[in-house]
Amino acid sequence: MAVLKVTFTKTNRDKLAQVLWVLNWVSVVTGVTLFSLGLFLKVEIVKRRELMSKEIVSVPNMLICVGLTACAINFLGGKICYDCVDTTKFLRWKLLMLPYIICTFFFTFCILVGALMCYSMRNDLEESLFLGLRDAMRYYKDTDMPGRCYIKRTMDMLQMQFQCCGNGGYRDWFHIQWISNRYLDMTDSEVVERLRSNVEGKYLIDGVPFSCCGLHSLRPCIQHQITNNSAHYNYDYRKEELNLNRRGCRQALLEHYTQIMQSIGLIVLIIWLFEVSVLTGVRYLQTAMENVLRLGDPDSESDGWLLENSIADTARYNFNIIKNLGKCYQVDDDPNIDVPSSSLQAQENVPVKQIPVAR
């Protein structure tokens, strides 16, 4: 009662072996693709490390490992399939094939996990970006402190490149002091008044850095006194939509990374399907070759299958093996071994056999 039994003639087996050899080499290429996708993602995340509170390393590392393992496994698979055309060469690989198939099965499972991780990264990323951007905006003015001197540049380049402003929107800049005290004239009455009116002594203004300026605006950029309509001629900040970038940088970065992740996830899913089909082919080839050896005639027809017995039987059989692995030191069931019956339970377990006496 084999699962999905298929009969193979000699030519079919040879053709299957050749096709699988080619497919395994294609899989090596897809493994390299996986590796490079992981590397690309890692580079993208490291590029903006300053804007994230916690660097997300799990997904790119997983993809890199899976890619390298795929190359190795499929390289070995290619060699095996190449040798399968000849029954004498197959004998070399006979013992290795079943463990190889089991390993590959678990490995394809890892690919699937990798693909699903790509889609689940979003929440972690959002949290990380929120905290990272908040800190970056806070340290925007600290261009004289070592370790923070490039945050201004990074933030400005980010806002210009993604056409975004602030964390959630441009108003985030109104709540932090982004102009350093070094450039504030403390003798000026206006500055002193503003500092005094703030509880924490911060110089807050309704202005944004130049990098928030919208490219598509029709008029020269208004970046100071944004909410003050009378400070500028012919200006109403509620109607003026193109003056500053409306989108928040958290939203912009999240969209950017989600797009990358979705594309990578899709490619990894396709690679997973491909790997599963190659694995199925290798399994059929293995069972067909083993049956040929069992029959003795290398040119005869043989059957190939996925599982020898039904799924339930195979599961029960494997479960028993695993159960018995744990029992290898217990000798209760073996009647050949003479166990000194020290306990009553042991005595009861050993059945007393009546030797039939011939009359």
Partner 1 sequence: MLLSCYVFPHQSARVLELHLLSSPSFLHHGDTHVMDNTDIHCVPNTLMIVGLASMGINYFASRICQDALDPGRFPRWKTFLKPYFGCSVFFTTLMLISVILSYAMKGSLETSLKIGLKNGIRFYKDTDTPGRCFQKQTIDHLQMEFQCCGNNDYKDWFEVQWISNRYLDFSSKEVKDCIKSNVDGRYLVDGVPFSCCNPSSPRPCIQYKITNNTAHYNYDHQTEELNIFIRGCREALVNYYMGLMNTIGAVVLSVFLLQSSVLASVRLLQTSMEAVAGQENVEIETEGYLLEKGVKETFMEYVDPVLKLLLLNQVTPPEAKPEAGATGTTTTTS
Of residues 168 through 197, those in contact with partner 1 by CB under 8 A are: 178-180, 182-185, 188
Report the run of H or E that residue 292 belongs to, with start and end: helix 249-295
Task: State the minimum distance, in angstroms, from the CB of residue 186 to partner 1.
Answer: 9
Q: Which residue of 18, 33, 87, 223 would you call a contact of partner 1, by CB under 8 A? A: 223
Contact indicator for 193, 224 with CB cutoff of 8 Å: no
**Torsion on CA atoms 60, 63, 64, 65, rounded to nearest 10:** 120
Q: Which is nearer to partner 1, 144 or 333 (CB)?
A: 144
Closer by beta carbon to partner 1, 149 or else 315: 149
Q: Chain centroid to CA 221: how far?
A: 42
d(CA 136, CA 78): 50
Residues 168/131, Cβ–Cβ less than 8 Å: no
User: What is the C-alpha separation between 307 and 221, in angstroms, rounded?
Assistant: 71
**Rule CB under 8 A: is residue 206 a binding residue for partner 1?**
no
Min dist CB 259 to partner 1, Å, is 22
**Which residue do the tokens 């989600």 mark?**
258
CB of 191 to partner 1, least distance (A): 9
Distance CA(70)–CA(54), nearest Å, equals: 29
Residue 131 binding partner 1, by CB under 8 A = no
Q: What minimum distance in Å lies between the beta carbon of 267 and partner 1? A: 22
- DSSP, collapsed to helix, strand or coil, labels residue 172 as helix
Which DSSP helix (H) or strand (E) runs through 302? Answer: strand 302-304
Of the candidate residues 68, 110, 117, 160, the single one contacting partner 1 (CB under 8 A)? 160
Report in angstroms how near the CB of residue 236 gets to partner 1 at its nearest: 13
Nearer to partner 1 by Cβ, of 152 and 250: the residue is 152
Q: Are 212 and 173 in contact (CB under 8 A)?
A: yes
Out of 13, 42, 152, 250, point to the residue binding partner 1 (CB under 8 A).
152
Applying CB under 8 A, among 218, 321, 355, 357 the residue interacting with partner 1 is 218
Identify whether the C-beta of residue 165 lies closer than 8 Å to the C-beta of residue 247: yes
- Supply φ then ψ for residue 341, to 5 degrees: -80, 85
Stretch that binds partner 1, among 34-42, 111-119, 145-153, 166-174 (CB under 8 A): 145-153
| Residue 236 near partner 1 by CB under 8 A | no
Question: If binding is defined by CB under 8 A, does position 317 make contact with partner 1?
Answer: no
Instruction: Give the DSSP letter of residue 6.
Output: E
211 belongs to the binding site for partner 1 (CB under 8 A): yes
SS3 58: helix
Amino acid letter for position 267: I
Instruction: List the one residue from 220, 326, 340, 351 that touches partner 1 (CB under 8 A).
Output: 220
Toward partner 1, which CB reaches closer, 116 or 145?
A: 145
Nearer to partner 1, 141 or 250 (CB): 141
- For binding to partner 1 (CB under 8 A), which residues are involved? 143-144, 149, 152-153, 156-157, 160, 178-180, 182-185, 188, 209-211, 213, 215-221, 223, 232-235
